[in-house]
Amino acid sequence: MDLKRKISIAVIRRLPRYYRYLSDLLKLDITRISSKELAARMDITASQIRQDLNCFGGFGQQGYGYNVELLFNEIGKILGVDSGFNTIIIGAGNMGQALANYGNFEKRGFRLVGIFDVNPQIVGKRIKDIQIMHFDSIDEFIKNNRVDIAILTIPYNATPAVAEKMARLGIKGLWNFSPMDLKLPYDVIIENVHLSDSLMVLGYKLNQKYRRQA
């Protein structure tokens, strides 16, 4: 994983997709694949695959292609699936619970270590072995436990203040589900999920296709 030059975010965002396709190939007991065939499956060019992978190293072999398991593991390493990130969920509403129950994150290196909410009706309940704690106890919790990432599934208006609090408590990464672009005067890394943006793009495409503008 040399750092000769900065790897573009476009490449990074494709890595999880490669990871998914390689995972599928593994499940199909396919042990080797050429960039050409993988490209066909993924609907991209073989050139792009080879360029992308060579940002991180030469994982293939001339005349042979790529060993699926090896490549899967290498991309996993690049993405840090063996990093064991400790995460907490702030906001145990439907979205928070959905994410808490989603088993895939664990497989990808994200361990859920705490869930917080302000609603006394919810505090104390268990989700996946984890008892929901009151948000008031979060300072204490973070003091006593390593927490890398806070997942924010809280109401829109609460988000900026809670995010700032997380940053001040030393959290390194925020995964934000409120429809806003979080920006903080701390060097915390933020990844925003914009669900309604995605839905609106779908709406746009439908209108384009069916000219159903109201």
Partner DNA sequence: TAGATTGTTAATCGATTAACAATC
* Binding site residues, a second copy, CB under 8 A: 12-13, 15-17, 19-20, 42-43, 77-85, 93-95, 97-99, 101-102, 104-105, 108-110, 148-149, 172-173, 175, 179-181, 183, 189, 191, 193-207, 209-210, 212-214
DSSP state of 156: G
Is residue 204 within the footprint of DNA (CB under 7 A)?
Answer: no
Q: Select from DNA, a second copy, none the partner in contact with residue 102, using the beta carbon and a kind-dependent cut-off of 5 to 8 Å.
A: a second copy
- Separation CA 103–CA 112 (nearest Å): 10
Nearer to DNA, 34 or 86 (CB): 34
Q: Where are the strands (E) in 10-153, listed by range?
A: 32-33, 60-61, 65-67, 85-90, 110-117, 126-127, 130-134, 149-152
Single out the residue of 42, 46, 70, 190 in contact with DNA (rule: CB under 7 A). 46
Tokens of 208: 């384009």
Nearer to a second copy, 62 or 157 (CB): 157
Single out the residue of 44, 127, 158, 190 in contact with DNA (rule: CB under 7 A). 44
Nearest distance in Å: CB 4, DNA: 10
> From its phi and psi, is residue 27 left (phi > 0), alpha (psi between -120 and 50) or beta?
alpha
Nearer to a second copy, 65 or 109 (CB): 109
Q: Select from a second copy, DNA, none the partner in contact with residue 58, using the beta carbon and a kind-dependent cut-off of 5 to 8 Å.
A: DNA
Q: Select from a second copy, DNA, none the partner in contact with residue 36, using the beta carbon and a kind-dependent cut-off of 5 to 8 Å.
A: DNA
Is residue 152 within the footprint of DNA (CB under 7 A)?
Answer: no
Q: What angle do CA 196, 158, 187 make, to 5 degrees?
A: 85
Is residue 50 within the footprint of DNA (CB under 7 A)?
Answer: yes
DSSP state of 93: S
Is residue 79 within the footprint of DNA (CB under 7 A)?
Answer: no
Residue 114's alpha-carbon distances to 154, 181, 193, 203, in angstroms, are 15, 24, 21, 36
Residue 1's alpha-carbon distances to 33, 55, 77, 200, in angstroms, are 22, 8, 10, 37
